[in-house]
Amino acid sequence: MSGSKTLRETCGLLAERYGEPGRGAGERLSEWLSGRIPYAYPEVIERHLTESHIDLLFDAFWQIVPFGTGGRRGRVGYGANRMNPSTVAMTVQGHCLYLQEAFADRDEPTVVVANDVRVFNDLIGTYRFLGDNHPLLGVSSRSLGKLACEIYAGNGITVYFAEPHSDSAVLTTPELAYLIAKLGAVGGVNLSASHNPPDDNGIKVYDQYGSQPIAPADQRLVDAIDRATDILSMPFDDAVAEGRIRALAANLHEEYIDGYVRLYDEVHVALPDVPVTFTPLCGAGLTTVGDVLERLHFPLRVPPREGPDGTFDVIPFKAPNPEVLQATEPARSFADEIDSTIVLSSDPDADRVGLEVKLDDGSWFHFDGNQIGAILCYFLMLDPDGPERRGLVMETLVTTKILGKIVEEAGDSYLIDDLLVGFKYVADVLKRLGNGESYAGISCSPERLVLAVEESHGVIVDSSIRDKDATPACMYLAALHQRLHRQGRTLLDYYIEIIEKLGGYDNVNRSITMTGAGGMLRKDEIMASLRKSPLHSLGGRQVYKVADYWDEDTFGPFVSNTDRMPRNVMQFFADTCVVTVRPSGTEPKLKLYCQLLPDGSSSETRGTALLREVRSKADVVSRQVYNDLLARIDVSISEAALLLPDIIDLEHKREFDSRTVGALREALTGGTHASLAELLAWLGGEIAEMTPGTDALPAVKAAVAHLCREWEAEMPEAGPLAELAAWASE
C-alpha cells in the first residue's frame, strides 16, 4: 500500500485515471475537505487520501448522490455520492426551501418524518481501514430522522415524529402516507432504503397528498436542494420542549388500522386453527400488517428474531426483499415447525408484500408480484365468494396484462395500464381524478379504486393512502388462504385456475446489477445501444413495434430534467410478448421485464403443467434478451452464472465463471476435499465476496446443480459429486 497523498496529488491521480469525471470528483473532494460542507467529517475523508483508495474516492465523489424515484438512496459512506448526515441534511434543507416557496401562505406548516430500522455497521468492510470507531458506524435511519426533525424545526416547520424520545421507534411508508393527508401536513420524508442491504440508506420525499412528487414538481424540489447550502437547525430536545417536534397521537394509528378493518368488511371470519405466518423481515411491518391481522383475529405467528433489527441478521444474503425467494427461508422453516402452510412478508418499510405457500409434497411455492396482483384482482372482482367489487384497476406498463382480462370479464369497470414505473404515477392519477379531471378518457371517483398494483410486490386498495402498502394484500391473502385450506386447496391451485380460465399469461423479470460509476456507465451504454439498434425478435417472434419513452414526438416533450430518468424506458412488442428495459431509479440495476401473452390458440394443458409451460416460454425470451443486453457491452456469462440470483453483481457472476467453476471442478477431480462438508467449507470461502457479511452458499445452489448435471456423465466418480448435486438440489 502506498503512503498518504496530498489533496493535490490525489486530485491529479483521479484526473489521470478517470479523465473529466475524475476531475469533477477531485473538485467535490476538495469542497468536502474545505470544512464548508456540514457534517462532512473532513478529518476522516483525509484518511482516504492514498493511492490504494483512489477507486473508492472516485466512486464516492464522481457525482452527488442522485435524486431518483422520489428521493435519494444508496450506500452509507463518506462523500457526495453516499448517504450520510451531509447528503440527508442538504436534502431536508432543500425541502424546507421548497415548502417555504410552495406554501408561503401557511402560517404554521407541518411535516411528518418517518424512519425504518436500518443501522450502518459496514458489514461489507468498505471502511475497515478506518478501524472500528469512526463517525458513521451506528448511524441509523432513526438518527437521520432526528437530524431531519432538527432541520425542519430550525426552519420554522413543525414536525410530527413517532415517540420523539425513543431511539428505536419506527413509522412505515404507508402509515406515513396516511398521516400526511390525515394531519393536513404540507409533506414529509422517510429515512429508509426500503428493501436494500443494511449498509444502504435513503430519504424519500412526500408531498401534501402523501405521495411522492412527479415532474415537474420534483424538479422544483431538486432545484431547491441544489440551492441548499446553509443548514438551519434547532437542537432536538429544545425543539421538543418548544413544540416544534411533536409526538404522533396513538389514536392516529388506531384510525389507520380501523380503515382497513372497515374495508375488509368481514370477507372471511378468521379461523383460529389455520395459523398465518408473517415475517416483517426484521423491519417495521409488525406495526401495520401485524396490527391489522391481529385486529382481524387471524392466528398470527412471527418467526423468532425477525422483529425489528437494522442489521437484518437472520435474513439470508441480508436481503430483506419479498421479491427474493431466499429472504423468507428461515420463516418457511419456522412455518414447517408449527404446521403453517403460508408465509406472508413485508420489507423493512412495509410497503412491499411477499407470499409463499406450502404444497402437498412439502415444498414451498414463491409467488412473484405479478402473480400476487392477479390473485388479488381476481379475488376482489370475479371470485363468487369474494367482494365482487367493480371500479378502477391501475397498473404500470410492466405489470401483468392478465389484469386487463379480469377487468373485461368483470364489466362496469375501468383499467389504466400504461403508467410509468413507480407508485407515484398511480398517486398522480388518483389526484387528477379527485380534482375532477380525466385520465386517458377515464373519469371516475378515486373512491371507486378496486386495486392498484405493480410487479415489484406493491399494492393499493384504499385511494386515501397514496403509496403502496403490504397490509391490505396480507389481510386478503390470509383470508383467501384460510378459505382454500378448508377446501383442501392452495393459493397456487387458485392461481392456476385463473390462468386456465383467462389464458396463459406470465411474467419473468430479471435485473443486471452493476455497481459503482462503471456500472452507471454500462447501463447508459446498453440503453444507448438499444436506441441505436433495437431488438428485432423475441423468442423467435418478430418485433412489430418499438416504444421509446424518450421519443418526444410520441410521448410528449420532457417537462423537466427529472422527467428524463423515469422515461428512460424501451419497450418491444411481439405477438405473444412484450419486453421492457429500463434502468432502476433507486438501485444499481438495469431491469428487464418479459410479459408473456396468450397466443390465441386453444391448449389442453392444465394444472401445474400449464404453469411450467408458460414460465418456460417466458424464460426463453428473458434469457435471450438478457444475453443480448450483455453482448452490447461485450460481456457474456455461462448458463450456470445466469442461474445466480440477480442480487449478485455482474462482476461477481463473471468471476464465478472465470475462477469458481474451474476451481470447483478441480476440487472435485483432484480429491482435495474428501467430504461434502469440507467441499462446502472451501466453496463458501471461495465465493464469500458475492454476498459480503452473510453466507453466500445459498446463492450458488441453482448454478451448482446445473454444473453437477453437466459433469455427471463425464466424471461420475469425481469426489463427492453426487452429494454436492443432492445438496444443490435441496
In the predicted structure, residue 2 carries a pLDDT above the cut 60? no
**pLDDT value for 603:** 75
Q: Mean pLDDT: which of 174-183, 579-588, 681-690 is highest?
A: 174-183
- Interatomic CA distance for residues 510 and 268, integer angstroms: 36
Nearest one of 47, 18, 45 to 30, comparing CA atoms? 45
Answer yes or no: is pLDDT of 180 > 90: yes
Q: How many residues does the chain have?
A: 730
Q: How far apart are CA 181 and CA 159, in angstroms?
A: 14
Q: Is pLDDT at 720 greater than 90 in this prediction?
A: no
List the 458-460 sheet strands across, edge first: 414-419, 392-396, 449-454, 458-460
Reading across the β-sheet that carries 506-513, which strands appear in turn? 506-513, 589-596, 577-583, 570-574, 545-548
pLDDT tens column, 115-155: 999 999 999 899 999 999 999 999 999 999 999 999 999 99
Give, as one character, the DSSP assignment of residue 83: B
Q: Please name the residues in contact with 212: beta carbons below 8 A apart, sequence gap of 6 or more.
A: 69, 70, 71, 204, 205, 206, 218, 422, 423, 424, 427, 467
Rg (CA), the chain: 26
Burial class of residue 310, CB neighbours in 10 A (0-12, 13-18, 19+)? buried
Q: Which residue has the cell 371516475?
A: 444
Peptide bond between residue 216 and the one before it cis (omega within 30 degrees of 0): yes
User: Are 315 and 123 contacting, i.e. CB atoms less than 8 angstroms apart?
Assistant: no
Q: Average of pLDDT values for 76-86? A: 97
Among 82-91, 176-185, 451-460, 693-702, which stretch is predicted with the lowest mean pLDDT?
693-702
Through-space distance between the first and last CA atoms of the chain, rounded to whole angstroms: 44
* pLDDT tens for each residue of 3-21: 678 999 999 999 999 999 9
Helix (H, G, I), strand (E, B) or coil at 296: coil
The pLDDT score that the predictor gives to residue 1 is 36
Q: Which CATH superfamily is domain 63-248 in?
A: Alpha-D-Glucose-1,6-Bisphosphate, subunit A, domain 3 (3.40.120.10)
Taking only the tens place, the pLDDT of each residue in 506-550 is: 999 999 999 887 888 899 999 999 999 999 999 889 999 999 999
Query: Which residues, other chains included, contact 307 with Cβ-Cβ below 8 Å and sequence gap of 6+?
Result: 280, 282, 286
Average pLDDT over residues 274-288: 98
Amino acid at site 421: V
3-class state of residue 300 by DSSP: strand
> What integer is the mean pLDDT of 339-361?
97
363-375 mean pLDDT: 98
pLDDT band at 717 (very low <50, low <70, confident <90, very high): low
All structural domains of the chain with their residue ranges: 63-248, 255-502, 506-636, 641-728
How many whole angstroms separate alpha carbon 498 and alpha carbon 402?
Answer: 9
Distance CA 291, CA 255 (A): 12
Task: Give this prediction's pTM.
Answer: 0.95
Among the listed residues 553, 595, 588, the one whose alpha carbon sits nearest the alpha carbon of residue 571: 595
Q: How far is CA 515 from CA 59, 74, 88, in A?
A: 10, 10, 21
Q: Are 283 and 349 in contact (CB under 8 A)?
A: yes
Q: How far apart are CA 355 and CA 357, in angstroms?
A: 7
pLDDT at 449 over 60: yes
Q: What are the strands of the beta sheet with 353-358, ordered from one edge?
A: 300-301, 276-279, 342-346, 353-358, 364-367
Confidence tier at 716 by pLDDT (50, 70, 90): low
According to CATH, the superfamily of the domain at 255-502 is: Alpha-D-Glucose-1,6-Bisphosphate, subunit A, domain 3 (3.40.120.10)
Q: Cβ atoms within 10 A of the Cβ of 343, count?
A: 28
CB atoms within 10 A of CB 228: 19
Q: Grid cell 410497503 — which residue?
A: 351
Tell me whether residue 77 is exposed, middle or buried, using C-beta atoms within 10 angstroms of its C-beta: 0 to 12, 13 to 18, 19 or more.
buried
- How do residues 386-432 score in pLDDT, each as one tens digit? 999 999 999 999 999 999 999 999 999 999 999 999 999 999 999 99
Question: Hey, do 63-248 and 255-502 end up sharing a CATH topology, with the first three levels equal?
Answer: yes
Question: What mean pLDDT is reported for the chain?
Answer: 95
Structure confidence at residue 238 as a pLDDT band (50, 70, 90)? very high
In the chain, pLDDT over 90 holds for what percent of residues?
A: 90
Nearest to 173 by CA among 504, 545, 586: 586
* Greater model confidence, 373 or 722: 373
Phi/psi of residue 39, each to 5°?
60, 30
pLDDT tens-place string over residues 450-482: 999 999 999 999 999 999 999 999 999 999 999
- Residue 719: its pLDDT value, please? 67
* Rounded (10°) CA dihedral 24, 28, 30, 33: -160
For β-strands 577-583 and 589-596, DSSP reports them as antiparallel
The CATH number corresponding to 506-636 among 3.30.310.50, 3.30.1490.440, 3.30.930.10, 3.30.200.20 equals 3.30.310.50
Alpha helices for 339-469 (secondary structure H): 369-381, 402-410, 423-434
Q: How far is CA 324 from CA 195, 366, 542, in A?
A: 10, 9, 32
**Residues 73-92: what's their mean pLDDT?**
97
One-letter amino acid at 185 equals: A
In this prediction, residue 718 has a pLDDT band, given cuts at 50, 70 and 90, of: low
Contact 423, 461 (CB under 8 A): no
Reading the block at residue 567, the C-alpha cell is 422515461
Q: Per-residue DSSP letters for 461-522?
A: --TTS-S--HHHHHHHHHHHHHHHHHTT--HHHHHHHHHHHH---EEEEEEEE--HHHHHHH
